[in-house]
Amino acid sequence: MKTYNLLYLLCTIFLLQCKEPEKIVTQENLTNFVNPFIGTDGPGNTYPGATVPYGMVQLSPDIGIPGWDRIAGYFYKDSIISGFSHMHLSGTGAGDLYDILVMPTNSKFSKRIKANSFKPFSSFSHEKESASPGYYSVDLLDYGIKAELTATERTGIHKYTFPKDENTQIYIDLGYALNWDSPTETHFKVVNNTTIEGYRKSSGWAKDQRVYFVIKVSKPFKEYQLFKNDTLTKSPVTGKNTKIILNYSTEEGEEIILKTGLSTATIEGAYQSLEKEAPNFDFEALKNQAKDKWEKQLQKIVITTKDSTKKHIFYTMLYQSMLAPTLLSDHNGNYKGANDAIMNADGFDRYDTFSLWDTYRAAHPLYTILHPTRVSDMVNSMLAHYKETGLLPVWSMQGNETNMMIGYHAVPVIVDAYFKGIKGFDAELAYEACIASATDASREIDKYMQLGYVPIDEQHEDWSVSKTLEYAYGDWCIAQFAKALGKTEDYNTFLKRSENWRNVYDSKSTFMRPKSNNGLFLKDFIPKDYSPYFCESNAWQYFWSVQHDIEGLVTTVGGKENFEKKLDSMFTLDPLPEDKLPIFSTGMIGQYAHGNEPSHHVAYLYNYIDKPWKTQKLIREILETQYKNKPNGHCGNEDCGQMSSWYIFSALGFYPVNPAQGVYAFGSPIVDTATLNLENGKTFTVETIHNSSENKYIQAITLNNEVIERSYIKHTEIMQGGKLIFTMGNTPNKNTKKSMAATSKMYQ
């Protein structure tokens, strides 16, 4: 026995000595820290339902009542549920999808109300509701039915536990529509007493949306009623408004599983989705698979913090950063293209739901660190959109271009991927696509090329100043791409175009100011007013949108001292009680609006004028006041991963002010440690010494045991692996010797 113990001890010591010290191995289940209800109250517009990372299916409860608060189908303050539909948008403020509504009922309750178009519904309580990554459950109190949901990439799986009832029913409603969505053609075919197939075509924000489906149930239905415009009919049926009711007799505690395979291309594709992803009715196994998929992705960043609330927020933000873009293609590569034809993705997964005006800022740069393989597919998806339409996507979803928002922000995403060494896409094709999008005559680009700015147009949502600034940024990205590919003439052309922000700068007001065709600035200009000339913002918020030339902006306003004063004013000029703030101006700190994307880089700009401690103070304030572990935990629309990605970057201590530059400005990290488990097999660790709420100021920084006296870290330094250590303190360190100076021109 003593010999055995000695041998055991020696082996243990040997193993401990051989263990890699840099790698954090966690036994924690990180999915336990995700709260999918964050953002379901207030302006967040998120959904709590079941999905997998970047999946086609977002199976989530619908209140069934329209309105801004319920733009994602669900609103935490409501008390009824009208069913569970298979597709939702995360935090966009856009009222589309809600396809294929399923609702179980029985004879215990039959009330109907006008507010939800007289659809079946049930009351529910948050005490009888839960959600976690890949899983959602709720008790439908009026029926005594427990509903549970899970998902694979292309299938939604429902589990309903029924009471004893001779008149149990399951409604499947293709005519159900909410907010902007409206069906144009729907179809049911009853294949047998366990299988139903069909499609739902609709128009809304996505003008030509198509969802093909196959539904299989674990228990044969004894009969069914099929309706067209509320009139009984026979199978098959095609019409704008169709629904089917499946009839059952159930025993106490009886479970029925309903699974739905989806495709944007064909019914055959939907059959493939079921066969390959959900071949059986083992709900628990499918639920565990979804959880494991999320766990694998969440383990890409392992943090430690003494504050459990921060840990819940961090992993919920990491979770929400992966709810979009969403998968569009089938297992055989087919998908509904932006040219309205059935296309095929050969060698890559086709994604859509590209909210690029939002996500180019932080979400896509985060993906280049955590998901470079998937970034390759995303870039190829954008190039597929280009081949289908002649332009890169602006705001695309479900194989449609919505043309929502402004800019050509697929450009910085592609250019960033190219410079970061993302493999698997055609650089020459990508360059061609960037040029095409930047020289197209639509969206006032023709006027921009002619005048050097977008002039005032009295049409609704003119957004002229914002367009000028966003186009100029995209032009800088193209200039860098052109230089790397040896296209000198294009480089010079687009570098000159990237200076067009100067054409809307007004030295008298020291703001970017609307300008008419004749070159005159708009009279009666009030910078804090929200006008049609700025996209969801005012002149204060858009002034800083020169991410590619902050040094030039500093010089233009008269130097660092003037720039500092203007930044200080940005964060202290509070709105007055009589000021009319639009719905998107939320998370206000002075004129800074964290609830909307143009502000997201602004607090980091003190790094460019040798005052990094002011950035550190503000970033810590934003992290601690604008995100909460509560349903109203988002101060603004989550916007397909942008709001959450800002948090992830900033919690780690750095942020991409210029998203296509490969450089991240330092802020104020709030985690004690964070280990990034990179796809290349390396690990990058962030550690904070003396971290606390009071110790928000960086005293010293070391990278791989070497002191660095600068306010940024390079993407290449992260991807090579290593350790970044911040020593924190409660007073500003004003001895920083090297700022962000010279970084914004690093590609030139």
Do 135 and 280 sit in the same domain of this protein?
yes
Is there a domain that residue 167 lies in?
yes
Q: What is the CATH number of the domain that holds 738?
A: 3.30.2080.10
Entry pTM = 0.95
**Domain boundary residue, one of 256, 276, 298:** 298
Per cent of the chain over pLDDT 70 is: 94
More reliable by pLDDT, 12 or 693:
693
The answer to whether the peptide bond before residue 325 is cis (omega within 30 degrees of 0) is yes
Non-local CB neighbours of 9 within 8 Å, separated by 6+ positions: none
Number of domains into which the chain is organized: 2
Residues 200 and 51 in one domain: yes
pLDDT of 64 above 60: yes
Question: Structure tokens of 623?
Answer: 């992290």
What average pLDDT score do residues 657-661 get?
A: 98
> Does residue 42 sit in the same domain as residue 163?
yes
Is 180 in the same domain as 316?
A: no
Residue 281 in domain: yes
pLDDT at 460 > cutoff 70: no
Mean pLDDT of 613-623: 98
654 and 665 together in one domain:
yes
448 against 22, higher pLDDT: 448
92/223 same-domain check: yes
pLDDT higher than 90, residue 561 = yes
Give the tokens for residue 320.
């929400």
Tell me if 594 is assigned to some domain.
Answer: no
In a domain? residue 309 = yes
Per the structure block, which two tokens stand in for 168?
A: 């149990």
Phi and psi (nearest 5°) for 711? -105, 25
Query: Residue 110 pLDDT > 70, yes or no?
Result: yes
The answer to whether 92 touches 43, Cβ cutoff 8 Å, is: no
Domain of 149: which CATH number?
Answer: 2.70.98.10
Residue 99 in domain: yes
Domain of 646, in residue numbers: 300-328+554-563+603-748
Label residue 99 exposed, middle or buried (CB < 10 Å: 0-12, 13-18, 19+).
buried
The pLDDT of residue 608:
98
Asked whether 207 and 400 are in contact (CB, 8 A), the reply is yes
Scan for tokens 């809304």, then name that residue. Answer: 204
Average pLDDT estimate for 137-142: 98
Query: Where does 133-277 show beta strands of DSSP type E?
Result: 135-140, 145-151, 155-162, 165-173, 182-192, 195-203, 209-217, 223-228, 231-233, 237-239, 242-250, 254-263
Please, are residues 246 and 173 in contact by the beta-carbon 8 Å criterion?
A: no
Q: Give the pLDDT of residue 690.
A: 97
User: Is the pLDDT confidence value at 420 over 60?
Assistant: yes
Q: Is the pLDDT of residue 9 over 80?
A: no
Average pLDDT, the chain: 94
Specify if 636 maps to a domain.
yes
**pLDDT surpasses 50 at 20:** no
Encode pLDDT of 481-519 as tens digits: 999 999 999 999 999 999 999 999 999 999 999 999 999
Which has the minimum average pLDDT: 6-10, 42-46, 168-172, 527-531?
6-10
Q: Which residues pair with 725 in a beta bridge?
A: 687, 702
Instruction: Kindly give the pairing relationship between strand 122-123 and strand 80-81.
Output: antiparallel
398 in a domain, yes or no?
Answer: no
Q: What would the DSSP string read from start to end of 75-138?
A: -TT--EE-EEES---SS-S------SEEEEE-TT-----GGGTT---EE--GGGEEEETTEEEE
Residues 278 and 322 in one domain: no
pLDDT tens by residue, 339-351: 999 999 999 999 9
Looking at the domain assignment, is residue 378 inside a domain? no
DSSP assignment string, 677-725:
E-TTS-EEEEEEES-SSS--EEEEEEETTEE--SSEEEHHHHHT-EEEE
Query: Does the pLDDT of residue 722 top 70, yes or no?
Result: yes
Query: Measured between alpha carbons, how far is 639 from 519 in angstroms, rounded to an integer?
Result: 35
Residue 264 and residue 176 share a domain: yes
Residues 222 and 76 reside in one and the same domain: yes
Report the phi/psi class of residue 677: left, alpha or beta, with left for phi > 0 and alpha for psi in -120 to 50.
Answer: beta
Do 248 and 322 have their domain in common?
no
258 and 313 fall within a common domain? no
The answer to whether residue 75 scores a pLDDT higher than 70 is yes
The verdict on 115 and 256 lying in the same domain is yes
